Structures are given as C-alpha cells and as structure tokens.
Amino acid sequence: MSSAAPRLPALLEALGQRAPRGMVLGLDRVREALAALGDPHAGVAAVHVAGTNGKGSVCAMVESVARAAGLRTGLYTSPHLSRFAERILIDGAPIGDAALERALSAALERVPAPLTFFEALTVAAFVAFRDAGVDLAIVEVGLGGRLDATNVLAAPLCTAITSIAFDHVALLGPTLADIAREKAGILKPGAPVVLGPLDPEADAAIEAAALAIAAGPRLRVARAERGGSAGEIAVGRAGEIAVGCAGASARATRVAGPGRPALEVELGLRGAHQAENAGVACGIAWQLAGRWPEVERTLPAGLASARWPGRLERIDAGAAEVLLDCAHNPHGAQALAAWLDEEGPGAARTALVFGAMADKGWGEMLQTLAPRAQRRLYATPQGRAAAPLDALQAIAPGEPIGDPRAAVARAIEVAGPGGLVVVTGSIYLVGEVRSALLGIAPDPVVAL
C-alpha cells in the first residue's frame, strides 16, 4: 500500500463491512450523498450502459476508443476480479491508492446516511472522476437499471442496452419484457440510445419506454448471416447498425451504420459475440463524435486495443493453457460454447473447471458446457452460496474438488501438454483463479 494513502486499508475494511447488506435498489440515498459532496456527477460527461451480458465489454471498447482519441477517461464497472481499485479506472488504469483513499473517505465519512457497499463505491467513482478531471466517464449499470445506484446520471451523452436475457428475475421480473423495462430505466429524454440485438418482446418494451420519455434517436444492432457481409444488410435503414464477419480471422469484424461506410477492424476482444458488442460501441462512439470528432477517426485503433480481463482471456500455465471466462448465466455460457466449438482444441483435450452461484442458472449452463470438455472438475466460488458440488455431478459426471486453486491444478494435470483448461461459471471463481495464476494479492471477494 502506498505511503501516500495510510488510511486506505481501514477505509477498504469499512467498505467491506457494508457488503452483508447486499444490493439495496433505490436512488434516494445516493442522491443525498452526492448532494452533500457537491454533486460530483453533475459536471461529468457520461455514457451509461446496461444489459444482461456484454455491458462490460462495450464499456471497455468505448473507453479504449475515447482514450485513443486523446480524451481523459473514467471507467466504472463491477465487480472486481482481484482488487477493489479495478472498479474505477482513470485513463485505462486502476485508480491510484491516494486518489482511492480520497474518494472513499468522501463516500464513507462525509455523507449524511450510511450507504451500501455498491452505493458507496458508486459515489466514490463520481468523486474520483470529478477530482481527476475526466473528459468522459463510461458507467456500467450494476444491476437492472431503473433503481441501480448509477442511475443518478440525469443527462448522459448516450445510453445503451447490450442484451436482455433471464437473470436476477427475483429483482427484475419473470419475463423478458419485465427485465427490459427495468433496464430501460436508464433512458433519458433526448439522449441517444444504442441497442444490441434483442428478443422482439424485450425490444418492444424498450421502444415503449423510449417513446414515453422521448428518448432517442435509437440505433439497433443487427447481425449479418454467417459468412455474409455487413454491407449486405441494414445499410441505409434508418436506425440500424449492421455487424458481420469481415474475413478469415475470428476477430475480423465489419460494422456499418446509417450514412457511414463500412468499418473493418480486428477486435481486441475474443469471441464471435464481440462483433455485436462492437456494433453497440460504434453506435455510442458515433454519438460521441458529434462532440469530439476525433473519436470516429480512432474507432479502429480503439476497438483493436480494447482489453477486458477474464473474458475469453488466455493465460499460459506451462503444462496447459488456461482460458478464463466470466460467463455466469445461460446466455453467457452459450457464447463461450460457441467459441469452444470454433476455436477450442476439442472435448478430448479440454478440461472444464466449473463453479457457480446457487442463484444463477447453473444447471442450464453446465448442460451447455459439459459436452465441450471430456474432463470436468467442480469448484466452489467464494462470495455467497454456491451451487452444490453433488448437484453439479448429477448433471454431468466430474471430480468434486471444491477449492478453485486445487481444481485448476488438477485440470492442468489432466488436460496435459497442448490441452486447454476452461475456468468459468462465476465471475468470483474467475477472479480467484486469475489472481492465483498471475500472482496478484487479491482484496476480499464481494459478490456485488
């Protein structure tokens, strides 16, 4: 810990003590806290991104593009993989100790009412962005949208919803339309909206919400048929962004928007699903280009240099390669399965380390992923109640090891030279394994 931040350990401990309260949805406490601190969020130009999956990747892409254009950026995401500071990035790097100490001190000690863990970090992020003088803040929704602590942003430059799938149904509702309406709560009057490919039910709900508050204009991402060209569909259609394969490389992507020539880029992030996320990021960037024209010029470089740890991230573990992916719901598992089918070494040379939170769709996830790995090892992530190991075995036979590090060590052994170890099912599982593989001393796991 930096000597310039002597109080940071105590502040982080105080922050962690708020975690047992969980996620308490609502905006009143956050607004009151921000008002006591001079409304630091009010003067920051921001992009606000929601979605079941893909929102972190889109945020990382937009931040990379904006930074490539010379803008001073702030990025707020959750959760962290190793350290709390990863949740607040300034110019692409985790916030420094001294700046984090100042921001946490404000959020924990200078506000009228005790905030939850996530609320305090959200307030701290806005304080940090103001103090750092960022030109643009890219803010990821924590959960849902309408009542998420980040939804204090009254006039974002652009909003986006990347995807709608079943997740957090106890809080967001049992249907796709219910979930979509909660996420559409981030839309604001007059603010442009970019939408990833959505189920018609979800799209209709978001469209109704946008019309009700006069949000827009709206841009929608549509994917070209496999092997097709983005130039073959949607170009010229009002409000549609076309994305598709641009070449033999799995990351070569073409994006075309209304009135814009097709843009071809080699994406920095792996996975066919990242083409759709790139389409959303381009839609956001085109809106930002109205204020900062250089953003459009730096789109290819920014998309190519974007990084998002723990998302199809490959780490050389010596005897075998380890693939870390934060898929933690059925929709995410399907995207990982698609990557394994196209670029994996095959089930016979793949070992799966799987662990999930009990409140996630772990059964469906495992059913999707189990056929892609001949050997399966089950682990128990930290954070909150995890899926029982015996229940995982009942779905697909495997070794119930429990300890994530021991499970990965065993997986490397059974995968053998040239094999692939896939670690997935929970962000917290990936974070613990990544910290161990890279020798990072982690902060406590907080499942928020």
pLDDT score for 228:
43
Whether cis (ω within 30° of 0) applies to the bond prior to 293 is: no
CA distance 201 to 285: 27
pLDDT tens digits, 365-420: 999 999 999 999 999 999 889 999 999 999 999 999 999 999 999 999 999 888 99
From CA 52, how far away is CA 30, in angstroms rounded? Answer: 23
Position 227 confidence tier, pLDDT thresholds 50, 70, 90: very low
pLDDT at position 236: 35
Q: Where are the beta strands (DSSP E) in 386-429?
A: 399-402, 420-424
pTM for the predicted model, two decimal places: 0.92
Classify domain 8-305 at the CATH class level.
alpha beta
Q: What distance lies between CA 201 and its chain's CA centroid?
A: 23
Q: Using CB atoms within 10 A of its CB, is residue 248 exposed (0-12), middle (13-18) or buried (19+)?
A: exposed
| Mean pLDDT, residues 156-168 | 90
List of residues 6+ apart from 309 with CB closer than 8 A: 81, 86, 324, 434
pLDDT of 27 strictly over 60? yes
Closest to 256 measured CA to CA, from 273, 238, 240: 240
Backbone angles phi, psi at 138, to 5 degrees: -105, 120
> pLDDT band at residue 278, thresholds of 50, 70 and 90?
very high
Residue 234: predicted pLDDT: 38
Per-residue pLDDT tens digits for 295-349? 999 999 999 999 999 999 999 988 899 999 999 999 899 999 999 999 999 999 9
% of the chain beyond a pLDDT of 70: 94
Q: Let me know how long the chain is.
A: 448
Domains 8-305 and 313-438 share a fold: no
Instruction: Report the percent of the chain where pLDDT is more than 90.
Output: 77
DSSP notation for 55-82? HHHHHHHHHHHHHHTT--EEEE-S--SS
- Our measurement of the distance from residue 256's CA atom to the centroid of its chain's CA atoms, rounded to an integer in Å, reads 24
pLDDT recorded at residue 231: 36
Judged against a pLDDT cut of 50, whether residue 226 lies above it is answered with no
Burial class of 253 by CB neighbour count within 10 A (0 to 12, 13 to 18, 19+): buried
Q: Looking at residue 295, what is its pLDDT?
A: 97
- pLDDT on residue 247: 66
The answer to whether 412 and 322 have CB atoms below 8 angstroms apart is yes
**pLDDT value at residue 169:** 65
Q: What is the pLDDT of residue 235?
A: 37
pLDDT one-digit tens code per residue, 171-207:
777 899 999 999 999 999 999 999 999 999 999 999 9
- Give residue 47's pLDDT: 98
Specify the range with the lowest mean pLDDT, choosing from 149-153, 213-217, 392-396, 399-403.
213-217
The whole-number pLDDT of residue 357 equals 93
Q: How far is CA 16 from CA 1, 19, 436, in A?
A: 17, 5, 21
In this predicted structure, what is the pLDDT of residue 224?
A: 61
In Å, what is the CA distance from 122 to each residue of 108, 161, 443?
Answer: 11, 19, 18
Using the structure block, give the residue that is written with the tokens 């799995």: 250
Residue 442 and residue 85: Cα distance in Å, rounded? 11
Which CATH class, in words, describes the domain spanning 313-438? alpha beta
Going by C-beta distance under 8 Å and a sequence separation of 6 or more, which residues neighbour residue 318?
A: 412
3-class state of residue 341 by DSSP? helix
The pLDDT of residue 238 is 57
* Ranges 1-5, 47-51, 261-265: which has the least confidence: 1-5
| Residue ranges covered by each domain of the chain | 8-305, 313-438
